[in-house]
């Protein structure tokens, strides 16, 4: 998998090779840096921004309508045309199945399963027993295909649009609804329905605070991302930020711990919460982490609240042993630093599990 190759590159770069600016506390990376959309007053950042940018951006997903919040046990964010979901157990972003939700109970003939393609150039999906052809096929293939839109759930048919009351040719997919707008220029004649807005209006899934506009991109993911880690017995107490990836290195800022956002889980949810920090700075960052013992208490702050963990395992590994950074199905904290101090040839791994209180 891609993330395995990426991790090998990243972990080899730990220790003194970490990318960092001497006096900054933010990762030096363009990928995933939070932005604020004045049009809706909401942010877009980190893993969701990377997915949004790589898969068509504004025309495919629309503007963000909420901040990131937890729904059904995972971080999600709603956009005009989609819901993005962070699956920490897999280490990937996925678009939610809002098309499947909207198709529930539809009785139009277009939703009747088909047995094969009907004309040359049309393709048949046995997984959903529906076809795809013409301009809709061209759009599907050119803008991300299966990972972005999913399988077709219907054939093409005429439907009245709820937003303007006009009738358009549409087709339903697991994650989207395609609409043909003949009145638009060629580049926009196939457009996506506002399923994110439609789902939110029908189900009201977002809490009030997530719907409220914000004034700064700095608050992106504030409700779920860790901001501090401490281990009282060994005097580890350091801030944590969202760190990124650029120029072949894991951007762990030199004077604080870094939260590795591309694959990390988040406190209180399933997944591997990977936090790295430098050593060699007297009484700061993870300088005392080599003194950790199994059974030590560990606390991670998220949204102003501390979550309690207990150290369950301590390992010293080679830089190439990247499996400790892999996504997990259970909640787990993985702290990483370089040892021995001054040599930095190995990786100290301190892992902790949640304490049920």
Res. 268 pLDDT band, cuts 50 70 90: very high
Res. 254 pLDDT band, cuts 50 70 90: low
Torsion of CA 177, 181, 186, 191, to 10 degrees: -20
Using alpha carbons, select from 331, 326, 339 the residue that is nearest to residue 310: 331
Does residue 246 register a pLDDT over 90?
no
Strand-pairing partners, residue 84, are 77, 95
Q: Locate tokens 């700095």: which residue?
A: 218
For 2-30+224-354, the fitting CATH number among 1.20.140.160, 3.40.718.10, 3.40.50.300, 2.40.260.10 is: 2.40.260.10
> Which residues contact residue 290 at a Cβ distance below 8 angstroms, ignoring those fewer than 6 apart?
279, 337, 339, 340, 341, 348
CB 293 within 8 A of CB 232: no
Distance CA 114, CA 111 (A): 9
Q: What's the confidence (pLDDT) of residue 279?
A: 85
Over residues 22-79, the pLDDT tens digits come to 223 334 456 788 999 999 999 999 889 989 999 999 999 999 999 999 999 999 999 9
Over residues 193-245, the pLDDT tens digits come to 999 999 999 999 999 999 999 999 999 999 999 999 999 999 999 988 876 55
Distance CA 10, CA 24 (A): 20
Given CA atoms 147, 148, 154, 156 in this order, what sign does their dihedral have?
negative
What phi, psi does 354 have (nearest 5°)?
-65, 145
- SS3 annotation, the chain: CHHHHHHHHHHHCCHHHCCCCCCCCCCCCCCCCCEEECCCCEEECHHHHHHHHHCCCHHHHCCECCCCEEECCEEEEEECCCEEEEECCCCEEEECCHHHHHHCCCCCHHHCCCCCCCCCCCEEECCCCEEECHHHHHHHHHCCHHHHHCCECCCCEEEECCCCCCEEEEEEECCCEEEECCCCCHHHCEEECCHHHHHHHHHCCCCHHHHCCCCCHHHCCCCCCEEEEEEHHHCEEEEEEEECEECCEECCCCCCEEEECCCCCCCCCCEEEEEECCCCCCCCCCCCHHHCCCCCEEEEEECCEEEEEEEEEEEEECCCCHHHHCCCCCEEEEEEEEECCCCCCEEEEEEEEECCC
Res. 264 pLDDT band, cuts 50 70 90: confident
Q: Any idea where the domains of the chain sit in the sequence?
A: 2-30+224-354, 35-211
Q: What's the confidence (pLDDT) of residue 310?
A: 98
Q: What's the confidence (pLDDT) of residue 18?
A: 34
R_g over Cα of the chain = 23
Distance CA 82, CA 59 (A): 11
The separation between CA 316 and the C-alpha centre of its own chain, rounded to angstroms, equals 29
Over residues 293-339, the pLDDT tens digits come to 999 999 999 999 999 999 999 999 998 898 998 899 999 999 999 99
Res. 127 pLDDT band, cuts 50 70 90: very high
10 Å Cβ neighbour count for 6?
18
């Amino acid at each position: 998998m891609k993330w395995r190759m990426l991790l090998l590159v990243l972990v080899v770069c730990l220790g003194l090779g970490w990318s960092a600016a001497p006096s900054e506390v933010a990762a030096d990376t363009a990928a995933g840096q939070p932005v604020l959309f004045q049009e809706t007053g909401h942010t877009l950042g980190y893993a969701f921004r990377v997915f949004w940018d790589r898969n068509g951006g504004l025309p495919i997903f629309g503007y963000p309508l909420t901040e990131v919040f937890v729904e059904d046990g995972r971080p999600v964010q709603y956009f005009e045309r989609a819901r993005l979901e962070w699956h920490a157990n897999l280490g990937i972003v996925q678009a939610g199945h809002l098309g499947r939700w909207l198709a529930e109970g539809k009785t139009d003939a277009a939703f009747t399963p088909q047995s094969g393609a009907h004309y040359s150039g049309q393709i048949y999906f046995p997984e959903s027993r529906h076809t795809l052809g013409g301009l809709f096929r061209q759009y599907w293939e050119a803008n991300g295909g299966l990972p972005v839109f999913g399988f077709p759930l219907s054939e093409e048919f005429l439907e009245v649009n709820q937003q303007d009351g006009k009738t358009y040719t549409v087709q339903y997919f697991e994650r989207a609804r395609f609409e043909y707008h003949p009145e638009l220029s060629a580049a926009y004649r196939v457009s996506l329905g506002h399923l994110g807005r439609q789902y939110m209006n029908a189900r009201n899934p977002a809490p009030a605070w997530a719907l409220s506009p914000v004034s700064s991109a700095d608050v992106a993911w504030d409700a779920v991302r860790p901001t501090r880690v401490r281990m009282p017995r060994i005097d580890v107490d350091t801030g944590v930020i969202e760190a990124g990836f650029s120029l072949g290195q894991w951007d762990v800022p030199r004077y604080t711990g870094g939260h590795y956002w591309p694959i990390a889980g988040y406190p209180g949810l399933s997944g591997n919460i990977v936090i790295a920090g430098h050593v060699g700075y007297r009484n700061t960052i993870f300088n005392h982490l080599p003194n950790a013992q199994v059974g030590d208490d560990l606390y991670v702050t998220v949204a102003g609240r501390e979550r309690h963990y207990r150290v369950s395992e301590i390992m010293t590994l080679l830089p190439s042993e990247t499996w400790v950074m892999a996504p997990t199905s259970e909640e787990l904290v993985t702290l990483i630093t370089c040892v021995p101090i001054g040599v930095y040839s190995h990786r100290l791994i301190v892992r902790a599990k949640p304490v049920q209180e």
